[in-house]
Amino acid sequence: MQPLISIVLCTYNGELFVKEQLVSLLEQPYCNIEIIISDDASTDSTPQILKQYENIENIKIFYGNKNSGITNNISFGLKQCKGEFIALSDQDDIWKPEKIQLMFDNIKDDILIYSDSELINEDAQPMHKKLSQLRNMHIGNNVLGFAFNNCTWGHAILFKSSLLTKILPIPYNVPHDSWIGFIAAAEKRINFLDIPLTLYRQHEHTFTSTLPTKPYKSDKYAKQEDYLKRLNWLKALSEYHNNPKKNEYQKLFLLFSKKEEKKFVFKLFFFIMKYFHSLFAFSKKKKISKINEARKLCRGIKIVN
């Protein structure tokens, strides 16, 4: 029998799309799958929709009593997995029928593999764009690339359960998919399957933004929030015990924190330029745009209480 693969589906107020996604998960022809559903105290009809699937043998559903947030919900779902391999599922996407089988066939000796995705709109109509057109998809162990970018979207990954002890606990307020990709790159390497296997839905309630958006120009609170999130992320990476670039991340975190003291952190800019190719390896922007982004990253920030 093929190894058990656990699919973790975390839900929260997903009544519009979750049933369509569940149908696509159940239509996977791979014969040995368990589906772990963790609902984060939805206030819409999501729990009622999920109850329709409670009697299906390979589905386990957990209902939270209070909303705990996406990170805690995913962590809980991961702890329930019994599979040798684990895949994450968003509540609003549609998986192609061959997804799990192709991911399993291609992971081989790697610890994590991720595939391409096709973007669709709220009505499941194609947007004629793939994630690989928006980001450089990385094969290897470039951990520095995760400092300011990501290529391993959660909905697109399959990883070996041996990685769980490294992933958990997921640090507070960090993007879980970037964290999993970083840990996999730090521990071994990540691989990419150049086939779109997910219809990745874009709509106004999407948890993370995929398509480029206009940046805040005058909202000092938004800029502060972005800075604090980035600082928290760099701190988490710098503290990971098995980070092969631990020294570089510790220095990057220290220099990034200087943004609170200076109008422009020149030492941070010089550091970014020194590791320019690694830090921006996942970005598809032209070189001049990457340099401009580096300059913006070095601008000071005034913390507003």
- Tell me the C-alpha distance between 293 and 147, whole Å: 13
Q: Which CATH superfamily is domain 5-201 in?
A: Spore Coat Polysaccharide Biosynthesis Protein SpsA; Chain A (3.90.550.10)
Q: Which of 245, 229, 228, 227 is nearest to 237 (CA)?
A: 245
Give the bridge partners for 115, in sequence order: 193
Q: How confident is the model at residue 219 (pLDDT cuts 50, 70, 90)?
A: confident
Q: Which of 154, 21, 146, 23 is nearest to 78 (CA)?
A: 154
- Cα 279 from chain centroid? 17
Q: What residue ranges of the chain are covered by domains with CATH 3.90.550.10?
A: 5-201
Kindly report the pTM of this predicted structure.
Answer: 0.94
pLDDT greater than 60 at residue 211: no
Residue with tokens 């521990």: 187
Q: How confident is the model at residue 304 (pLDDT cuts 50, 70, 90)?
A: confident
Q: How confident is the model at residue 217 (pLDDT cuts 50, 70, 90)?
A: very low
| pLDDT mean over 29-34 | 97
pLDDT greater than 70 at residue 234: yes
pLDDT greater than 80 at residue 205: no
Q: Is 82 exposed, middle or buried (0-12, 13-18, 19+ CB in 10 A)?
A: exposed
pLDDT greater than 50 at residue 46: yes
